[in-house]
Structure 1
Amino acid sequence: MTLPPLATAEDLATALQRPLDPAQADLAIRRASSRVRRYTNQVLSFVAQETAELEGGTQTLQLPQRPLVVDGANPLTVIELADFTGIEYQAIESRDFTRIGSELTRGYPWYGSRTRLMGWPFNRTLGVWTTRVRVTWSHGYQTIPDDITDVVLDLAAMNLTNPLGLRSESIDDYSRTFASETIGGAQLTRDHKAALRPYRRTAISVRPMP
């Protein structure tokens, strides 16, 4: 899947206050967007109705891509999968689980029988998701937040400032030294990482659906 850039060439030209070669600007934006996505482990752009199998076995299931978008056009579908039997059970929000942000917490029985947890499966551990859960959900931002865009534009500007990866250059009596972050392709600085930290996630076991 080809992901859209997290900023535009027009944004970059405006930020630098000068006209840019469109091809160079697009390349710089794509490279910067890729680095931001790699650091955050997030797509960030809006994706409708993605399906993946997640590893369960705990009470709380963390969806790997954020923010979660749930509305009339973007339903959240959660299916618990039984190993080897082919049995599937659709878990219903507010009946089988609660949702806070991107965390889905499996509930306890609401009736007396201890042989079934909210419908299925037989003799399962109370309040724990099955070992595999298939989730279909929408996620990401329709409009990329400004702090993410700022980082992308800053990285792209670094690439355009030093496209050849030079450490320094001299012209007659003039010389300048480039920041180390711009050598060999712009890299995220400490300030960039601090700005992106709220959007970053740690690794989660996900099985992409074919």
Structure 2
Amino acid sequence: MASLAGVDDWSKYTSAPVPGNAEHLLNAASGVIRTYVEWSISREIIVDARIDAPGGTLLMLPTLLLVDVAAIAVDAVAVTDFDWSEAGMVERAVGWPRGFRRLTVSYTHGYETVPDEVKSYTVAVASAAAASVAGKVQESIGDWSATYATVERVFGSMGKTILNRYRRFAA
């Protein structure tokens, strides 16, 4: 899966110099962000995902921006009597069965172009991690001590307000 921001985005969102490991840092920041929001954000085509059947009439796909549902099968039998919303909900009037791995779903979701605020945040997290002393998390000499940034540490300390509107489940 592609990074939420590319090396070419670095200079658009920060004046910090582009480090040699910028691509790695952007990939790491993207992973931390995707873990937090619980979906990919960027455009992704999912083919034949095995999904647990919830029972009831409503199925929630793991997305906040559903673009298309190409196919759904229940116990390997194709069904077409469903409707879906951009919010990732798939409704079926006769209901979904209940049970693990009973649904196979092919769908497209995510933003075709990652929103600028998400790109900016990705670069900010990666840039802050790049500014830290490589390989060190914390050091102390006498009464003096310093804690350095890692992608995970920077992400945790920066405000998540921007990302909360992209998060599947609010904190």
TM tier, smaller:
0.7 to 0.9
Structure 2 unaligned residues grouped into runs of 5+? none
Q: TM-score normalized by structure 1? A: 0.65
- 2:91 pairs with 1:105: yes
Aligned equivalent of 1:15: 13
* Cα separation, 2, equivalents of 1:145 and 1:156: 17
User: After superposition, what is the alpha-carbon deviation per residue over 1:7-31, rounded to whole angstroms, capped at 9, x for unaligned?
Assistant: 112221333325423x321122111
Is this contact kept in 2: 1:163–1:185, CA < 8 A? no
Is this contact kept in 1: 2:61–2:89, CA < 8 A? yes
- Post-superposition offset of 1:65: 3.1
Aligned equivalent of 2:73: 79
What code does the residue aligned with 1:13 have?
Answer: S
Structure 1 unaligned residues grouped into runs of 5+? 108-126, 170-176, 203-210
Aligned equivalent of 2:79: 91
Question: How much is the aligned-residue C-alpha RMSD, in angstroms?
Answer: 2.9
Is this contact kept in 1: 2:63–2:110, CA < 8 A? yes
Aligned equivalent of 2:29: 32
Is this contact kept in 1: 2:29–2:151, CA < 8 A? no
Aligned equivalent of 2:52: 55
What code does the residue aligned with 1:151 have?
Answer: Y
Is this contact kept in 2: 1:49–1:138, CA < 8 A? yes
- Structure ranking higher in strand proportion: 2
User: After superposition, what is the alpha-carbon deviation per residue over 1:148-192, rounded to whole angstroms, capped at 9, x for unaligned?
Assistant: 1121111011111114345589xxxxxxx87x6825854324654
Match of 1:182 among 124, 149, 154: 149
Bigger Rg, which one:
1
- Post-superposition offset of 1:52: 1.0
- SS across alignment from 2:4: coil
Q: TM-score normalized by structure 2? A: 0.77
Q: 1:6 to 1:41 in 2, by over 3 A?
A: same
Identity of aligned residues (%): 22
* Cα separation, 2, equivalents of 1:41 and 1:34: 10
* Cα separation, 1, equivalents of 2:152 and 2:158: 17
- SS across alignment from 2:160: helix
Is this contact kept in 2: 1:61–1:103, CA < 8 A? yes
- Post-superposition offset of 1:45: 2.2
- 2:160 pairs with 1:193: yes
- SS across alignment from 1:187: helix
- 2:151 pairs with 1:154: no
What code does the residue aligned with 1:67 have?
Answer: L
Match of 1:130 among 97, 118, 133: 97
- Aligned pair count reads 161
